[in-house]
Amino acid sequence: MKFAVIVFPGSNCDHDAYHVLKNQFNISVDFVWHKNNKLNKYDGILIPGGFSYGDYLRTGAIARFSPIMKAVINESKKGKIILGICNGFQILIESGLLPGALINNKKMKFLSQNVVLETVNNNSVFTKKLLKGQELIMPIAHKQGNYIVSDDILKQLEDQDRIAFRYKGNNPNGSISSIAGILNSQKNILGMMPHPERAAEDILGSSDGKYIFESILK
Task: Provide the 10 A C-beta neighbour count for residue 33.
Answer: 12
Q: Which is the catalytic residue, given 86, 118, 158, 201?
A: 86
Q: Is 195 a catalytic residue?
A: yes
Cα Rg of the chain, angstroms? 15
Q: What is the DSSP letter of 115?
A: E
How many whole angstroms separate alpha carbon 181 and alpha carbon 8? 22
Cα gap 183→165, rounded to integer Å? 10
Determine the Cα angle at 148 with ends 120 and 128, to 5°.
20
Residue 70 CA, distance from chain mean position: 18
Catalytic residue among 34, 75, 142, 195: 195
Is 75 a catalytic site residue? no
Contact yes or no for 105/146 (Cβ under 8 A): yes
Q: Which of 13, 34, 94, 197 is catalytic?
A: 197
Nearest to 211 by CA among 149, 143, 132: 132
- The rounded distance, in Å, linking the Cα atoms of 58 and 61 is 5
Residue 12 identity (one-letter amino acid) = N
- Active-site residues: which are they? 86, 195, 197
